[in-house]
Amino acid sequence: AAALDPQTRRLTEEREVLGPAYRLFYRKPVHLTKGRGARVWDADGEEYLDVYNNVASVGHANPRVVDAIARQAGLLNTHTRYLHENVLDYAQDILSTMPGELDRVMFQCTGSEANDLAVRVARAYTGGEGVIVTAEAYHGNSALTSGLSPALGTAQELGLTMRMIPTPDTYRLEIDGCPGNACPAAEFGAWMAGEVRRAVADMERHGIRFAALLADSIFSSDGVYPDPAGYLGPVIDTVHELGGVWIADEVQPGFTRTGDAFWGFQRQGIVPDLVTSGKPMANGLPTSLMAARHEVLEPFAGSIPYFNTFGGNPVCMAAAQATLDVMRDEDTMGNAKRVGTVFRRAVEGLMADHPCIGDVRGAGLYIGCEIVVPGTKEPDQATALDILETLRMHHVLTSVCGRFGNILKLRPPLVFSEEDVDMFMDAMAVTLRELGL
Ligand code: PMP
C-alpha cells in the first residue's frame, strides 16, 4: 500500500467499512470516475481501455440511455401494481427477440433474483427439487442461487439438492480418445448428456426428484466453452426425457454478446424452458428478467403471487428499452461478430511466439485465453495474474475466470472497435515482452 497515492490509499483503507467479503481488483486499485464507450478514466484523468465490463453493454454513459433514464426519472418511478406502458412495451419487445414458445416475461433487479425465481418456477412445474449445475458455475448471491454456485469455493454451503456435472472443458477433455475441441457436437453432447444421467441417478438414490439443469450456454464462469456449437442439443433432450427443464442463464451470453444471435441459446439451436438475464440489459441500471413458456410458468404463477418492489419499474424499463433500441440501431450483434472475429484471430496470433498461451476460444465479443505452463496444459494462474497486473499498468482492464483462475476473460462493452483491439494488442505485446513470456 506504500506505493499508492494518498487518495487511493485513503479510499482503499476506508473500504474496511464494507467488511471483508468485498474484493478489489488489482494490487494498485483503480479509482474510476468517468466512462464513455469502451473507455474509462480514473481520478487523475488517465484513460483506460475496458476489456472486461459487459454491464455497460452499449458503452459507458451511453447518451441515449442516460437521456431515457433522466426523462423517466423526472416524470415518475413506481412499482408494478399500477398500469404503465414502459413495462408492457418492453415485455413485448424483448419477447419478440426470442422464439415464439417463450411468451411470458417477469422482471427483477438482479441475475440472482431471476435465477432464484426460475428455480422456484421449475420446481413448481416439475414437482421436483434437484438442480444440476456445472462444476465452476456462478448463478447468484441469494441463499438459493449461491447454493447453486460452486465457483464461490469450498467455504460455500452448497445446496443439498444440487448436483454438479463437469465443466465442458473442450481444451482438456478427451471423448473416446478424441480431443474435446476436435469432437463433433453430437459426440461431445452425448458425453455431457451421460453426465446429466449420472447426476439424476444420484439424485434418485437420495430420494430427490430432478427439476432443472441451470446452465449458461457458453459456460463463462467455468472458463468460456461455446463450441462445438450445438452440443447442448443432446443434453437438453436428456433433461426433458428425465422430466426436468432447462433454465438458460443468459446473464453472460445474452443481448447479442456472442455475435451470431441475440441470445446465446440460439447458437445451440434449442429453445429453453426458462430464460434468465440481467447484467447487460439496461446498461447499468439494476434490471433483470425471467422469460418462460406459459405452460411452464403456470403452476407457480397461477398459485403464488409475485411482487418485486423495484423490478419492472418505469425508469429501469426506460433504460432497458433505450439499451435494446441502441443494440438494434447500432447493430451490436454485427459488431460483436465482426470485431470479435478480428479480436480472436489477433489473440490467436500470439500463440505461435508465446507458448504460455495454450488455447484461445470464444464467441463474438467473449474470448477466453488459457495461460498455461509452456508445452503443457497445466494452468498457470500466477502468470495469468502477472499479465492482468501488467496490462493494468498499461491501462487495459480485464480479468480471469475458470477453476484455476488462469483464463483471461476478454469481454468488453459491445461497442468495442477494431481500434480498441489494436490498443489491446499493443498493450499485450508490451506486457508479454516485459514479463519475458
Ligand atoms: N448468472 C451468471 C452467469 C452471472 O455471471 C451472474 C453475475 N456475474 C449472475 C448470474 C448473477 O447476477 P447478479 O450479480 O446480477 O445477481
Q: What is the pLDDT of residues 219-278, one digit of tens each?
A: 999 999 999 999 999 999 999 999 999 999 999 999 999 999 999 999 999 999 999 999
The three cell numbers locating residue 311: 423490478
The predicted complex's ipTM stands at: 0.99
Say if ligand 1 is within 6 A of residue 276 CB. Answer: no
**What Rg, from alpha-carbon coordinates, does the chain have?**
22
User: What number is the average pLDDT over the span 56-69?
Assistant: 98
Q: Could you give the CA distance from residue 145 to residue 158 in angstroms, rounded to a whole number?
A: 9
pLDDT of residue 157: 84
Q: Which residues make up the CATH 3.90.1150.10 domain(s) of the chain? A: 31-58+331-434
Q: How far apart are CA 214 and CA 201, in angstroms?
A: 17
**159: pLDDT confidence band, cut at 50, 70 and 90?**
confident
- Of 264, 251, 224, 172, nearest to 407 by C-alpha is 224
Residue 2 pLDDT grade (very low, low, confident, very high; cuts 50, 70, 90)? low
Angle at which helices 63-73 and 314-329 cross, to 10°: 160
Ligand 1 proximity of 111 Cβ (cutoff 6 Å): yes
Q: Which ligand 1 atom minimizes the distance to the CA of 216?
A: 3
Residue 3 scores a pLDDT above 80: no
Average pLDDT, the chain: 96
Residue 91 makes CB contacts below 8 A (sequence gap 6+) with 105, 107
In the structure, what pLDDT confidence band is assigned to residue 287 with cuts at 50, 70 and 90?
Answer: very high
The mean pLDDT value for 363-382 works out to 98
For residue 288, give the ligand 1 atom closest to its CA.
Answer: 15
Ligand 1 center from residue 2 Cα (angstroms): 34
Q: Is the CB of 141 under 6 A from ligand 1?
A: yes
Residue 112 Cβ contacting ligand 1 at under 6 Å = yes
Render pLDDT for 12-58 as a digit per residue (tens, 0 to 9).
999 999 999 998 999 999 999 999 999 999 999 999 999 999 999 99
* The pairing of beta strand 39-42 with beta strand 32-36: antiparallel
Mutating to test ligand 1, I would choose from 148, 225, 252, 285 the residue with most ligand atoms within 8 A of its C-beta, which is 252
CA of 115: how far to CAs of 32, 41, 122, 186, 369, in Å? Answer: 30, 33, 10, 28, 28
Does ligand 1 lie within 6 Å of residue 140's CB atom? yes
* Ligand 1 contact, 139 CB (< 6 A): yes
pLDDT band at 214 (very low <50, low <70, confident <90, very high): very high
Listed in sequence order, the residues at least 6 apart from 187 whose beta carbon sits closer than 8 Å to its beta carbon are 175, 176, 178
- Residues 6 or more apart from 218 whose CB is under 8 A from it? 224, 225, 226, 252, 253, 258, 264, 267, 363, 366
Identify the residue whose cell numbers are 407457480.
Answer: 300
139-152: pLDDT as tens digits: 999 999 999 999 99
Distances 412 to 59, 329, 343, 353 between C-alpha atoms, Å: 9, 19, 11, 25
Q: Is pLDDT at 334 greater than 90 in this prediction?
A: yes
CA 87 – ligand 1 centroid, Å: 22
Per CATH, the architecture of 31-58+331-434 is what? Alpha-Beta Complex (3.90)
The pLDDT of residue 257: 98
CATH class given for the domain over 63-329? alpha beta
Predicted local distance difference test score (pLDDT) of residue 161: 96
Residues near 397 by beta carbon (within 8 Å), at least 6 away in sequence? 25, 30, 40, 48, 49, 50, 51, 52, 53, 391
> pLDDT band at residue 132, thresholds of 50, 70 and 90?
very high
Sheet holding 357-363, edge to edge: 357-363, 366-371, 407-410, 399-401
- Looking only at the bridges linking them, the beta strands covering 130-134 and 210-215 are parallel
Q: Amino acid identity of 150?
A: P
Helices (H), 218-309: 232-241, 264-267, 294-301
CATH 3.40.640.10 residue spans of the chain: 63-329
Residues ≥6 apart with Cβ < 8 Å to 66: none
What's the confidence (pLDDT) of residue 154? 78
pLDDT-derived band of residue 1, with 50, 70 and 90 as boundaries? very low
Here the cell at position 92 is 413485448
**Calpha distance 132→153 (Å, rounded):** 17
Q: Tell me the residue type at 64.
A: R
Element (H, E) at 290: strand 288-293
Provide the residue type at 273 as one letter. D
Q: From residue 123, how far is each of 89, 118, 220, 253, 380 by CA, in Å?
A: 29, 9, 25, 24, 40
Residues 78-129: pLDDT tens digits?
999 999 999 999 999 999 999 999 999 999 999 999 999 999 999 999 999 9
Residue 203 scores a pLDDT above 50:
yes
